[in-house]
Amino acid sequence: MNPSRRRFLGHTVLLPSALSFPALLTSRKSLASVVRPDQVEPDFWQQRRVIQVRNAGSGVRRELCFWDGSYQEPACQEIFQLLADQRDRSAQPMALDLFNLIYATQRWYSLATGKSTWTDIHSAYRTLERNARVGGAPDSFHLRGAALDGRLEGVSLGVYAAMLKSYGAGGVGLYPQHVHWDVGRPAVFWSSFGVA
């Protein structure tokens, strides 16, 4: 995915009735009838990208604007720092499309409910040692800073996985306590519940 190329724009005719979407929050099936914010707003990817993220381990949370005409280096560094595992010594750069997906899904939630929400991050960049400790795959995208595990507050994991999946940006995996998403490969979806 490269949202800056506005790949998703120009496909969709907006039906106002599709905007009545509280059902989004309870039903995966209803998601198919929901219009995403980037499909509603032609300049969606040209707007300031503000996200609210929380490190589920440390509880530290920040609201940050990481793109305002271009990526904002200090804010990106602050995000990397925020999400660093508490046992790792230093934060590592991560793929920025991961945060574009956080931005898009938070805005989607806001459009659906009129409220803002937070994304809780359970796991971000992992060192080899950290990856082994948590039983990650040997070639995990977490090792190269291209994956996040987390959840969107107020949304079921199944719905959140479906929201992320709709962008076709890479891998999306549904687990009992979190959703995994990664970027930089063809879209793939899996579920620890055995439902693809």
Part of the chain binding Zn ion (CB under 5 A), chosen from 47-55, 105-113, 160-168, 177-185: 177-185
Residue closer to Zn ion, measured from CB, 147 or 163: 147
Residues 6+ apart with CB under 8 A from 175: 149, 157, 192
Which is nearer to Zn ion, 13 or 137 (by Cβ)?
137
- Of these, 53, 109, 180, 183, which contacts Zn ion (CB under 5 A)? 180
Position closest to Zn ion via CB: 180
Q: What is the CA radius of gyration of the chain?
A: 16
Size of the site for Zn ion (CB under 5 A): 3
Residue pair 60/46 in contact by the 8 Å Cβ criterion:
no
- Residues in region 135-164 near Zn ion by CB under 5 A: 147, 149
Tell me how far, at minimum, the Cβ of 144 lies from Zn ion, in Å: 12
36 forms part of the interface with Zn ion (CB under 5 A): no
The backbone region for 55, taken as left when phi is positive above 0, alpha when psi lies in -120 to 50, beta otherwise, is beta
The single-letter DSSP state of residue 71 is B
Dihedral sign computed on CA atoms, order 193, 57, 171, 97? positive
Given the complex with Zn ion, which of 85 and 149 has the nearer CB atom? 149
Q: C-beta of 172: minimal distance to Zn ion in Å?
A: 10
Between 61 and 130, CB nearer to Zn ion: 130
CB-nearer residue toward Zn ion: 147 or 169: 147
Tokens of 25: 């929050």
- CA gap 163, 91 in Å, rounded: 28
The residue count for the chain: 196
Cα separation, 76 vs 116, whole angstroms: 21
What residues line the site for Zn ion (CB under 5 A)? 147, 149, 180
